[in-house]
Amino acid sequence: MEELTRLIREDMKPALGVTEPGAIAFAVASAKKYTKGEIVRVKVALNSGMYKNAFTCGIPNSARFGNLYAAALGAVAADEEKGLESLDAVRPEDDEEAARMVEAGRVEVVMDHVGSEITIDAAVTTAEDTCTVRIRGSHTNIVEIERNGQVIWRREEKSEEKDSAARQTEGGESLQGPVIHRYTLKQILHYTETVPVDEIEFIREAFPMNLELLQEGLDSGRAVIAAKLLEENGGELISGDPLKTAQLLCSGAIEARVLGLSRPAMSITGSGAHGIIATMPLYAWAQVKGLDEEARVRAAALSYLITMYIKEYSGKLSAFCGCGIAAGTGMACGLAWMRGADEVAISRVIWNMASGLTGMICDGGNHGCAMKGIVAVDAAFRSVDLSLAGISIEAIHGINGKTPEDTMKYMGMIASPGMTGTEKTIVEIMEQKNQKG
């Protein structure tokens, strides 16, 4: 198996609802597993990105939203064995029990630091035990479990990770760092075009999963943006207009997701919205233009890899909208490739996206994500149109780099370390609103 195939396969996962509430519930449920007796208290400490992203987002199978209820449902009803889909079996009575826990003050969720690396410390206290589960780096990556003051499990570093960390260049520099950054755009494009299609056919699973989520939103009557986009698209999911179709399929699915509806999205880089933006506009273009399945699978592979490239610089969660910026740029590259763009033209696409969207803030997983999806799709289509006409914002301007690799690096740097102050301000605004009711 190609190394890039492995990266996509390991990163691409179903996620029910916004990823952060699922991760919080998963962490709490994992801690509860090692306790006995009635739960007295639940306390969860999060990095700023986790705290912000779950602050006002919907929760699957619940009438409520936000950090506290996600943690309470983790204690009441989540199934940790289902990972990011841990909340898929919540019943109305579970929802009410979780609400009683919150109202009784038995659940606390705090932000313990500003940072883009995912951190979750979930502590469950019962009449007999206290267990803390610690997650680092990705939403379900448990690194340590402590019960009653004793570490009962700690994640061992895999041998291949040790080998990678030990490898050095001839000049003595460490080769530590994300695997994706060892590749150039040229190499990623070569992979996209030459990898055996049966090796990446698993990517097909993303399209029907995200379409079913969109349909759930339309059927619910709650997805008001999706309903309007459907009307603008002539009442059809697939019309003759690729842009309107792309915005409907993309933002409609995102809206259903942030509302907490009951179907999963196919995530990439730990985010369902990233996965939706990275794939659904490509599906729309292929359907409208009559392209075959192989074309959209290869385009999605390119989209995923570019998304991952940028996200590894920005961090999994930050103050910039990775959905619009990272996944939007990945999707734009995939769209350009489906339209016949070569490496030079795709580099122009990256310059255009970097100059236009970088700086869009992330103010948590909420209804506003659907608006950001609309903006990202529009920017991507326009960036590709300009590039195919030979037009781009040149490398000398702004944060554009001389190479596409540098440009993607600089896009990520705007988020981390660039926007850590912005992250703090966003959270402060949210908390002020909460205090004012």
Exposed, middle or buried: residue 364 (CB in 10 Å: 0-12, 13-18, 19+)?
Answer: buried
Examine the pLDDT at 166 and tell me if it is beyond 60. Answer: no
Domain residue limits, the chain: 17-154, 179-433
Examine the pLDDT at 373 and tell me if it is beyond 80. Answer: yes
Neighbour-count burial for 228-254, b at 16+ CB within 10 Å, e otherwise: ebbeebeeebebebbbbbbbbbbbbbb
CA distance 7 to 195: 14
Instruction: Work out the pLDDT band at 16, boundaries 50, 70, 90.
Output: confident
- Per the model's pLDDT, the better-predicted residue between 116 and 216 turns out to be 216
pLDDT in tens, 37-51: 999 999 999 999 999
Closest among 310, 303, 340, 306 to 409, alpha carbons compared = 310
Closest among 81, 37, 16, 93 to 272, alpha carbons compared = 16
Q: What is the DSSP string of 350-380?
A: HHHHHHHHTT-B---SSTHHHHHHHHHHHHH
pLDDT of residue 123: 98
Examine the pLDDT at 73 and tell me if it is beyond 50. Answer: yes
127-136, 162-171, 302-311, 396-405: which has the minimum mean pLDDT?
162-171
Examine the pLDDT at 176 and tell me if it is beyond 80. Answer: no
Q: What percent of the chain has pLDDT over 90?
A: 83
Compute how many other C-beta atoms are within 10 angstroms of the C-beta atom of residue 141: 14
pLDDT of residue 173: 37
Mean pLDDT of 326-338: 98
Examine the pLDDT at 433 and tell me if it is beyond 90. Answer: no
CATH of domain 179-433: 1.10.4100
Examine the pLDDT at 171 and tell me if it is beyond 90. Answer: no
Structure letter (DSSP) for residue 202: G
pLDDT in tens, 81-140: 999 889 888 999 999 999 999 999 999 999 999 988 899 999 999 999 999 999 999 899
Examine the pLDDT at 158 and tell me if it is beyond 70. Answer: no
Examine the pLDDT at 315 and tell me if it is beyond 90. Answer: no
Q: Are 140 and 74 in contact (CB under 8 A)?
A: no
Q: What is the mean pLDDT of the chain?
A: 93
Single pTM value for the model: 0.89
CATH of domain 17-154: 3.30.1330
